[in-house]
């Protein structure tokens, strides 16, 4: 279990790992197909490559850095009551150097730093507090200081 702090509850298990328990070792967990080389994130529930139709997936670490491919700042709460985080919030796509596009939230409220091509890094960040006051956390991407962004 990467998360030893009882105050922090991961939104979902098995999507990220911190091998040494510190932020510097944070990586996403994905799959690579041993037959065609395709990379998947989130990790697939079955060891099955939907690209080449082979059952040849292995686990790989992804990130922690990538570039914003696209994004949007959402100004109103989603319908249905599933999302309990703050509004506005930003999500978009990040291209990782391993060759996979990932859909993710962006950390922080400094939305001016979000631009296509901006370098970002992986963080684990609170999404909302549950009924017991505990932080539910998830993976997000945060713009890297001094790298790209609007002047």
Partner 1 sequence: MKPISQMRSVVVAGIGITPWGAQGEQECYDIGSQAVFHVLQDAEMTWPDIQAVFCGSVYQGTGSGHQAIKEVGLSGIPIVNVENACSSGASAMRLAYQAVAAEIYDVVLAMGMEKMPRGPIPSTAFRPWELASGFNVQMANYANEAVAYMHETGASVEDFGRVTVKNRRNGAMNPNARFQVPVTLDEVLNSRMVATPLRLLHCCPLADGAAAVILCSPDKLKTRRRGITVAASVLTSAVYGEGIMMGGTLESLKYPAAEGITELSARQAYEAAACGPEEIDVVQAYDTMAPAELWDLEKLGFCAPGDAAGLLDDGIFDIDGRLPVNTDGGLMSRGHPLGATGLGQIYEIVLQLRGEAGPRQVPGARIGLAHAMGAGPNSAVTILKA
Under rule CB under 8 A, residue 39 binds partner 1: yes
Distance CA 12, CA 136 (A): 9
Minimum Å gap between C-beta 146 and partner 1 is 22
Q: Which two tokens stand for residue 83?
A: 């999302």
Distance CA 58, CA 125 (A): 27
State the DSSP code for 146: T
Under rule CB under 8 A, residue 24 binds partner 1: no
Distance CA 84, CA 127 (A): 7
Distance CA 144, CA 24 (A): 14
Distance CA 82, CA 92 (A): 18
Peptide bond into 55 cis (omega under 30): no
In the shown chain, the binding pattern of residues 104 to 123 toward partner 1, with x for contact by CB under 8 A and - for none, equals -x-----x----x-------
Under rule CB under 8 A, residue 74 binds partner 1: yes
Under rule CB under 8 A, residue 38 binds partner 1: yes
Which of 55, 78, 110, 129 binds partner 1 (CB under 8 A)? It is 78
- Whichever of 24 and 75 has its CB closer to partner 1, that residue is 75
Q: Which residues bind partner 1 (CB under 8 A)?
A: 11-12, 15, 36-39, 42, 50-51, 69-76, 78-80, 82-85, 89, 91-93, 95, 99-103, 105, 111, 116, 127, 136, 138
């Amino acid at each position: 279990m990467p998360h030893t702090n009882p105050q922090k509850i991961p939104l979902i298990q098995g999507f990220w790992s911190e091998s040494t328990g510190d932020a510097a070792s944070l990586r996403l967990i994905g799959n690579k197909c041993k037959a065609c080389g395709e990379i998947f994130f989130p990790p697939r529930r079955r060891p099955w490559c939907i690209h080449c139709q082979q059952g040849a997936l292995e686990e790989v670490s992804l990130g922690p850095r990538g570039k914003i491919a696209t994004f949007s700042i959402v100004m109103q709460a989603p319908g249905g009551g599933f999302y309990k985080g703050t509004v506005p919030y930003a999500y978009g796509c990040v291209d990782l150097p391993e060759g996979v596009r990932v859909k993710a939230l962006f950390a922080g409220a400094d939305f001016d730093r979000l631009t296509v091509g901006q370098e970002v890094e992986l963080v684990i960040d609170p999404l909302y507090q549950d009924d017991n006051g505990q932080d539910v956390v998830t993976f997000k991407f945060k713009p890297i200081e001094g790298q790209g962004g609007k002047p």
